[in-house]
Structure 1
Amino acid sequence: MQDVEEAVTRAFQEEWGRVVATVIRMTGDWDLAEECAQDAFAQALRHWPRDGVPRRPGAWLTTAARNRATDRLRREAVGAAKLRQAALLAPRSEPDGDGSDGDSDGDDSGVPDDRLRLMFTCCHPALPFEQRVALTLRTLAGLTTAEIARAFLVSEEAMSQRLVRAKRRIRQAGIPYRVPPAHLLPERTRSVLGVLYLLFNEGYSASGGDDLVRRGLSGEAVRLARLLTGLLPGEPEATGLLALMLLHDARAATRTGPDGTLVPLEEQDRSRWDAGRIGEGVRLLEDALRQGRAGPYQIQAAIAACHGTAPTAADTDWPQIAALYDRLARLVPSPVVELNRAVAVGMAEGPAAGLALADRLRESGALAGYHLLPATRADLLRRLGRTHEAADAYREALGSAPTAPERRYLTRRLNEVRAQQDTTRTA
């Protein structure tokens, strides 16, 4: 039974977006699509222990969700009207039972991918930017409302209301479910890039749960980013984002140890980094930068390249990274960027300089409840030998750390500074 539960969990991480996107295309009803997708996964938990895990779980789940949607529409009093509406929304050919997405839907972009259609529908300019990103993370990635709220640093209630308003707006505005034609792509580029960025981040560093890395989500983000760069060959930020993803993803296998504990960058086994992905990321970054329009994703990719190409942690060019964060902070002012800049300054100029920046953020209250702020302060205080203050900061970070791997890492660090305190007392 445990193997089946693991298979269902893995299928959820890898297939949720495909299942929901297919049912939305079929019915035009976003809430119904999510309900039917959830029902399909519930069916899997009932049937797979008896029948075995299917060879293609995604196809099984898609078929189950489509069948459930058809049954629901037929039973409801308004089913006939909804089916007529669905006939107008649906492609001329339905996807077949093998879970493929079909390749003709009247969409003049020539992109036969339901998940990319879903992303562009969510990112329609009629929706406010925050609603676009949040809705895509919910429907495409299957993130919970709580997970999305943490990504935006807002309350779960506020995020729930944001999602409801976004779905209502799509219905009321009659927003079409398609990839827009080429001349309309630029107006949605910023939102789509933002969605892909957050989708990748949730896979690379999960906002909650027992696993720090969710490879299904990060892999899906990379796949969609490759499709997007094909759609937007002259957009350097799309290329820069793909480069950023590849440079980070190259290190994903080394981010946790055998027991699932977070392994910080300086302790990772660089011989296990994916050299092919690093090389591709660097080449893409160079192609993007040659266009002379460096934006936030290209700058972040340059930071990732500094890490990815350093032979050892000691060889990392921290002054260059600090300068890049300074430039990033001017382009996209953000307390999270400032916190990362504090880390880089702490490495380039010494922990006291980094701590001054982190303390300024703490006093502002901009990152209240964000566990990486006290975790960063704890590390800087530890390096300064201020073990009592470091222990307090580690305890504060532990109280808000969202994942088990991060809590294990913070516990290890807390025990280390406690041991230093005991050594100091007995010396």
Structure 2
Amino acid sequence: MIGPSAPVDLFSDAVLADPAPTLRQLRDIGSAVWLPATGAWFIGRFADVRSALNDWQTFSSAQGIGFNPTINAAWDQALICQDPPVHTTRRKLMMEVLSPVALKPVAETIDQRAEALVDRLLEMGQFDGVTDFAHDLPVGVVMDLIGWPHDVRPRLLELADGSWNAAGPDNARMQSGMAQLGQMMDLLAEIYAENRVVPGGFASRLIASAHAGEIAAETAIGMLAGYVVAAFETTISAMAAGLYLFASNPGEWHKLRANPALALGAANEIVRLETPLQHFGRVTTREAALSDGSIIPPESRVIISYASANRDERHYAEPDFFRIDRREKQNLGFGHGPHGCAGQGLARMELVAVFTALAGRVDRLELAGSPTRSLNNIARGFGRLPIRVIAG
């Protein structure tokens, strides 16, 4: 059977501000739901999303992961817009600096930076959970790891902020995101042409591969662009989300204080519940059958909803609750299958380090005002998050 349809605009302000009720509604309708407002099929149940992410032969990334043709053309060389075997070859370049072995020397730096951050926060007492807290490790650690020249780092962060908007459907946020993305691509092309990067980082290795003829210059620039957008906004979102969730759930904070070994579970639960990247697109290469018998025709644009899958009551007990010792360990916040997030090991290390350091010295985290969400077509995060810390 062809799946049902629903008059839902996933990218409206109202849904982006509070997506969970709409995602539940779509899950309850069926495994695949046609959304005329976007011109795409929505897949939001955990089992179906996981299955689709494993089946790249049917649910292809090669026609882009965005929901407008402009971004899919602009990102045609990005790693997330490739299928194996091309994806496999290019991903190896990235994993040279992001594998667990490669990240071992970085771990001590991350721990030291986390402790220094907690020193500053305790001295401040009250701070913004986005700019004062969430920016610190992702920006400091990732900028060094990639090897961006110091003089362009503030500008790269500024351009990365909100760039995921460009992957949405053609709305005002998408147009704004495209303008930012265009400026970022120009800057990256300039850095590439001048080989103006810090030696030894991921950027220098990627540029060297292009100069050696192993990959095209356009491919190197596209991969760098994908890493800029993915590395900053998503981890920053997860960091801020963790503060918000712990401040809103003091019982879970006391669990972590009593048992710091729960920090990894907490990191995974933060990513599950808030899911920094809510949805990506795919295109079906052939007829696709889903778990309830729904059929998606070939050459259809599909919305793969990580955010919906991560709150699917068919898979999780009490999915809307924050539980750092949750029994169900797996979630899809870092993706799954061939396109699982290449930087997820680093993101977990950063989250574990900063919340372990906080738990060792902070008795309470409190909201010090009303948070504001930063509405984005693809990414979920905070624009402002007033937090107060009480030492203990």
TM-score, length basis structure 1: 0.27
Give the structure with the larger strand fraction. 2
Which protein is bigger by CA-based radius of gyration? Answer: 1
Give the structure with the larger helix fraction. 1
Larger relative contact order (CA 8 Å, sep ≥ 6): 2
TM-score, length basis structure 2: 0.29
